[in-house]
Amino acid sequence: MPRDKIPKLFDGSIDELTKPTKPKPKKERNLKKEKMQKTLYVSRDMNMKLIQLYAEEGRRQSAIVEDAVNLYYYLRLALGEKKFEELLSAVKREDPEFLRDYISKLRP
């Protein structure tokens, strides 16, 4: 066994105890590929909408939720706080025609 592979034994000195450890190199993480399990609490109405989307699109619910979060996040960044709140109030009306008209007015 090479000498550099043999672990150094603790010599009992205070210097050995107070030496900072070498930081371990961090692996670059691809957060888009890395998955984690979360518990998502949703209303019964939201669950019904998820099931309907799942049936129509034939995709996993997690993919639908991930798309929804991305849409929410980037719309918030793009529109700014005030315009985004206006858009959310239009969405909460749950009227597709009203929302269609509202979005058409957002375009320059």
Encode pLDDT of 45-95 as tens digits: 988 998 898 888 888 888 888 899 999 999 999 999 999 999 999 999 999
Looking at residue 3, its pLDDT comes to: 64
- For the cut 70, the answer to whether the pLDDT of residue 103 exceeds it is yes
- For the cut 70, the answer to whether the pLDDT of residue 2 exceeds it is no
Looking at residue 1, its pLDDT comes to: 57
Encode pLDDT of 6-21 as tens digits: 776 666 666 666 777 6
Per the CB < 8 A criterion, the answer to whether 61 and 50 are in contact is yes
- Structure-model confidence comparison of residues 93 and 2, the more confident one: 93
pLDDT (average), residues 40-44: 85
DSSP assignment of 34-75 equals: ----------HHHHHHHHHHHHHH---HHHHHHHHHHHHHHH
Looking at residue 82, its pLDDT comes to: 93
Q: Count CB neighbours of 34 within 10 A.
A: 7
